[in-house]
Amino acid sequence: MSWGTGEVLAVNISEKRGIRKHNLDKAYLRADWGIEADAHAGDWHRQVSLLSLSSFDKMRAMGADIDFGDFAENLTVTGIEVATLPIGTRLQVGEVEMEVTQIGKECHNKACAIKKQVGTCVMPIEGIFARVLNSGWVGIGDRIDVIEA
C-alpha cells in the first residue's frame, strides 16, 4: 500500500494535560521524549500525537466549531491518513524520524466540549501516537514521508 507524502499543517503543544493545545509554528522534538515544551512528552510510547485534516473535516461536517490543537494533537497533518498506518510504521517528519506506537486511545474526558457539541470525537479512533527516534525540528509546511511500513 502506498501512503503518499504528507505535510504538517500545525505544531501544537499544551503546558498542562487535558486542555486544548496551541500552535507554535515549529518545535524541537527530542529523541525518546517528544516535543520539549509539551505536557505529554516523556519516557513512554505516546510522545507525539498526530491527526489528519480529514478528521477535522469530518467533525466540521457534523457541526463542530474546531481549530487545530482542539483534539490535543501535537501534529495536524494533510496528505496522509494517519489512522491507516500500521503500528511500527516509521515516518520522516521534517528533521525527525518517528515510529507509530498506538492508534487511537481511550478518551479520558468523557464530557469534552467537542463531544457535547456534536455527540462524538475522532481523536480516540483516528488519532495516532508515535515515539521520537532522533532529535530535530518540525514545523508548519514540513514534508512527511512514510519511510517504512
**Which pLDDT value is given to residue 110?**
56
* Domain range enclosing 76: 5-148
Residue 18 clears pLDDT 90, i.e. is over it = no
| 59-67, long-range: CB < 8 A, 24+ apart | 59/114, 59/118, 59/120, 59/121, 59/122, 62/118, 62/119, 62/120, 63/117, 63/118, 64/114, 64/117, 64/118, 65/117, 66/114
pLDDT one-digit tens code per residue, 66-83: 889 988 899 999 999 999
Higher local confidence (pLDDT), 4 or 43: 43
pLDDT one-digit tens code per residue, 81-119: 999 999 999 999 999 999 999 987 665 555 555 555 555
Mean pLDDT, all residues of the chain: 87
**Which pLDDT value is given to residue 20?**
81
CA-based max dimension of the chain: 39
**Which pLDDT value is given to residue 2?**
55
pLDDT one-digit tens code per residue, 34-62: 998 899 999 999 999 999 999 989 888 88
Alpha-carbon distance values, 62 to 12, 117, 121 (Å): 23, 9, 10
CATH, residue 106? 2.40.33.20
Domain count, the chain: 1
